[in-house]
Amino acid sequence: MATAIRDIPSAPTVSPRATAARLRARRRAHNRRTAVVTAVLAVFLLGFTTASVLLGGVAHIAAADVLPAALGLRTGLADYLIFQLRMPRALAALLSGALFGLAGALYQRIVRNPLATPDIVGISAGAGAGAATVLLLAPAAFTSGPPLAALAGAFTLLGAVYALSHRGGVDTYRLVLVGIGLSAVCTAYTNYLFTIADQNDLAVVMRWLIGSTNGADWQGVRTLALGLAGCLVCTALLYRPLSGMALGDQLATGLGTRVRPARAAALLVGAAAAALATSVVGPIGFVSLISGPIAGRLVGGERALALAPLVGAVLVVGADVLAQNAPLISPVPTGVLTALLGAPYFVWLILRRRHGAVS
């Protein structure tokens, strides 16, 4: 017996050096994959953005006029269309998509449920209600009011949803249900404002119901760019605590992460990201829901959070190009297309997902 045992080949002794080498190799492979995916997404983003500027919407500019105008060499109609209409629009789509993607990925990470994104939890509806209030009832504050009002609406709703779904801990599904309820009342309110709106304001206000990049201007692009920069910096600061929290609250606390402040900060950053994007382009539906899982499928694990904004940007700019140029249906609000894309995925998600699983 004893010899028999000795004959069994012993488990391969793993030298620490070999383990480290294997881990390094895996990390390198992961890095390579991340780099390739990022590069491909960046190419898509560049392509869609260029297409958005070159193709534009209804008005067609001769191709010969586009390039000089884009380089600022010619003035006139082409110049106006490129610089005042198409470029802000394309950039607003890009930046808002990134913000939605970031917000969704943050929420999915914190609540550990792919369903708990800002639009499902009702933050987009709150932001839309805030922005619509200022636009329709206090048009004097038009220039700088909507983003601030959207932030206020989003934070109010976040607080209300969190407080109302808190009952000896926050259950994800209760959070989602309360969010659905509160967003119903916000949507009803926005709808009401919409019916008393002046016919001339309708095109502007419509964005707060469906989500559209139509009519985005440089002011909005500036807001979005500053917001995205701020939110990305905050996310970078939160990256380490969030990684710790992936191990579970207790272990993270043991490792020295201050879990509660980190979670609260992440919730606020996510709400701010969703609110800023909503304040400029309206609630473009389901982008925050699908960006995180797509990023997770592409690179997996920790890095999904960093990649989600890029995925969101590609989605919204792509949807925007389609919304302007697709045959038969264009022009439509961008949010219509993202909802048509995202809602079936949402259904698939609730059909496929095992209860309690962490995505």
Partner 1 sequence: MTTTSPPVATSPPPARTRFSRGAACMVLAAVAVAATLIASIGLGSRHISPLDIVHILLHPNGDLYNSHVLWTERIPRTFLGLLVGAALGASGLIMQALTMNPLSEPGLLGIEQGAALAVVVGILYLGVTDLQGYFWMALTGAALSAVLVYLIGTRTNTGSSTIGLILAGVALAAVMSSLITLMVVRDDAAYAHLRFWSVGQLTGRAAVLDDVLPFAAAGLLLALPLGRTLNVLSLGDETARGLGVPVERARLAAAAVAVLLCAAATAATGPVAFVGLVAPHCARMLAGPDHRWSLPLSMALGAVLLTGADTAGRLVIDHGEIQVGVMTAAVGTPFFVWLARRRNLVRV
Residues within the interface to partner 1 (CB under 8 A): 115, 120, 164-165, 167, 171, 173-174, 176-178, 180-182, 184-185, 187-189, 191-192, 194-196, 210, 285-286, 329, 331-333, 335-337, 339-340, 342-344, 346-347, 350-356
Closest CA to 211 of 324, 128, 326: 128
Name the residue nearer to partner 1 (CB basis): 170 or 232: 170
Residue 18: CB minimum distance to partner 1, A:
42
Minimum CB–partner distance for residue 114 and partner 1 (Å): 12
Q: 206 vs 272, which CB is nearer to partner 1?
A: 206
Minimum distance, C-beta of residue 352 to partner 1, in the bound complex (Å): 7
Tell me if 174 sits within 8 A of 192, measured CB to CB.
Answer: no
CB of 197 vs partner 1, minimal distance in Å: 10
Q: How many CA atoms lie within 13 A of 215 on its CB side?
A: 16
What residue type is assigned to position 107 of the chain?
Answer: Y
User: In angstroms, rounded to a whole number, what is the distance separating the alpha carbons of residues 242 and 259?
Assistant: 8
For partner 1, give the closer residue by CB, 107 or 346.
Answer: 346
CA angle, residues 295, 297, 299, in degrees to nearest 5 = 65
Minimum gap (Å) between residue 264 Cβ and partner 1 = 21
Of 33 and 174, CB closest to partner 1: 174
What's the length of the chain? 359
Give whole-number Cα distances, 117 to 11, 197, 214, 300, in Å.
Answer: 46, 30, 24, 19
**Residue whose tokens read 């609630």:** 283
**Nearest distance from residue 206's CB to partner 1, in Å?**
9
Q: What is the DSSP string of 41-56?
A: HHHHHHHHHHHHHHH-
Angle in degrees, CA 155, 166, 109, rounded to 5: 65
- Nearest to partner 1 of 5, 196 (CB atom): 196
Choose between 208 and 346: whose C-beta lies nearer to partner 1: 346
Q: Which residue number, 29 or 329, has a Cβ lying nearer to partner 1?
A: 329
Token pair in block for residue 353: 């997902």
Q: How far is the CB of 139 from partner 1 (least distance, A)?
A: 18
Instruction: Give the H/E segment covering residue 90.
Output: helix 87-111
